[in-house]
Structure 1
Amino acid sequence: MADNTASSTSKVETARLSLDPPSAVDDAAMGAMLSDPATMVHLQYMAKSWQGGWKPEELVARRENHIKTMNDKRGSTFYIHNKSTGELAGVMGANMINMKDRNATVGIILSKKYWSGGYGIEALFELMRGLFEDLKLHKLLYETTEANVGMRKFLEETCGVPMAYIRKEEVWCQATEKWLSLWQYELFEDDWPRIRAILLENMKRGAAKHATTA
């Protein structure tokens, strides 16, 4: 398996996905995804609906910032592609990697059509594997909103990680003109062997189901 650390500039492949460094080739597809109301329903504060979606110059600046952060070894970003079609399926990564204290904040955005079928688990498994096993991080922090039931279910039910705390009214959502609270979940290196086994079993069952229905 290719290196999956913050400094990696190589693609990482899973059974169905290609996890690639940021590329200008994907700017248009990334803009469409980040501006899509269905995909960004739980991330409306990022969708820029008040200005008609993401502008080309904003997408370039976002991508260039991700590349700089990777080069500085302060973060990692992977563009998620469907291996069979080449379609952009999402983006994920680790922000604010702190090697001194061995922690990072992680997150993922998937296009709405990839919300089912286990694509998120397949991608996040590889991200967390790299951060815990390659970078030897101690803690990963996930942030989400109360309404994002899918992410909360993944963390609470699939991974068995309880909500750690709530940052009340942390983000102003210009689209709704309301404050959003962030629900935070902490995954520790001691949790990873258990979570690793759970995710591998989930992917194994998913692969078997796909083979049966294919």
Structure 2
Amino acid sequence: MSDDAVTSKHIVLYSPSRRVKLETPTAEFDEAVAILRTEPGTRKYLLGHLPATMTMEESKERRESRSKDPKILDFSAYVRQEDGSYELGGSTGVFNIDTIQNTCEAGILVATKYQGKGVTAEIFYALWTYLFEERGFHRVTLETAMENAPMRGWLERVAGVRQEGTKIECWADKAGGWTDVASYALLEREWKASIKARLEKRIADRK
């Protein structure tokens, strides 16, 4: 699913419908990324991870530092508009990349205006296709707050991803409290056997 013209450092991926494009972050969207990461809708279940405020310079510094870390691969997620242009609609990527075990942890943010509109399926389809079919990863893990019912429901009922466990009081919430975390994982064989087809159907049904 990657663009034929990409280099090892600049990657472009598309969902099957091409409604969603993933691209390694670029400077022109630093301000838009700062807005995305501080939206109340994206921060709701990630108060201990996302800032309440973020400047364009802070967004730039984050992009540049993460691009140099071999254990991180970030993507900005763009949603195609009616005129054919693409608007920043979220972000995804992987971290804790282990090239010995061929494992990584994935994350996602979806802009408030695109939540509940089928964007998650297209983002993860493009990402997981790349990870399993082009990069040869064996295992991808995901974590989300136990109280994040929309994300947990999507992982379990839409994608069919396994919940492997619960981590009690795992995330600090920056307000003196703690959040329990649900841990999920999918293997390459699970992706090829069922999850890929489930997401393809989900995407096709929403056209």
Per the normalisation by structure 2, the TM-score is: 0.89
Q: How far off is 1:8 after superposition? A: 4.8
User: Percent same amino acid at aligned positions?
Assistant: 26
RMSD: 2.0
Determine whether 1:120 maps to 2:120: yes
Specify the alignment match of 1:16 in structure 2: 19
Determine whether 1:191 maps to 2:194: no
Structure 2 CA distance for partners of 1:124 and 1:8, relative to 1, 3 Å? farther
Q: How far off is 1:66 after superposition? A: 2.5
Match of 2:34 among 31, 34, 37: 31
Q: How far off is 1:47 after superposition? A: 3.0
* Count of aligned positions: 200
Specify the alignment match of 1:79 in structure 2: 76
1:159–1:195: 8 Å Cα contact kept in structure 2?
yes
Determine whether 1:111 maps to 2:111: yes
77-86 vs 29-38, greater mean Cα deviation? 77-86
Q: What whole-Å deviation, never above 9, does each CA across 1:35-54 have from its counterpart, x for those lacking one? A: 111221111112322xxx11
1:6–1:76: 8 Å Cα contact kept in structure 2?
no
Q: How far off is 1:138 after superposition? A: 1.1
Structure 2 CA distance for partners of 1:105 and 1:7, relative to 1, 3 Å? farther
Q: How far off is 1:103 after superposition? A: 0.4
Q: What whole-Å deviation, never above 9, does each CA across 1:55-110 have from its counterpart, x for those lacking one? A: 333212210122113xx3x3321111122243210110011211110100001101
Per the normalisation by structure 1, the TM-score is: 0.86
Q: How far off is 1:164 after superposition? A: 0.7
Secondary structure of the residue aligned to 2:28 is: helix
Q: How far off is 1:6 after superposition? A: 11
Give 2:99's aligned amino acid.
M
2:22–2:126: 8 Å Cα contact kept in structure 1?
no
Give 1:16's aligned amino acid.
R
Structure 2 CA distance for partners of 1:162 and 1:18, relative to 1, 3 Å? closer
Structure 2 CA distance for partners of 1:68 and 1:3, relative to 1, 3 Å? farther
Whole-angstrom CA distance in 1 between matches of 2:107 and 2:92 = 6
Q: What whole-Å deviation, never above 9, does each CA across 1:177-200 have from its counterpart, x for those lacking one? A: 211122110111121121001110
Whole-angstrom CA distance in 2 between matches of 1:199 and 1:18 = 16
Structure 2 CA distance for partners of 1:172 and 1:68, relative to 1, 3 Å? same
2:72–2:95: 8 Å Cα contact kept in structure 1?
yes
Structure 2 CA distance for partners of 1:17 and 1:160, relative to 1, 3 Å? closer
18-27 vs 5-14, greater mean Cα deviation? 5-14
Whole-angstrom CA distance in 2 between matches of 1:173 and 1:192 = 32
Whole-angstrom CA distance in 1 between matches of 2:171 and 2:92 = 20
1:80–1:91: 8 Å Cα contact kept in structure 2?
yes
5+ residue gaps, structure 2: none
Q: How far off is 1:151 after superposition? A: 1.3
Q: What whole-Å deviation, never above 9, does each CA across 1:121-162 have from its counterpart, x for those lacking one? A: 001101001111111111100010012112111211122233
1:79–1:92: 8 Å Cα contact kept in structure 2?
yes
5+ residue gaps, structure 1: 208-214
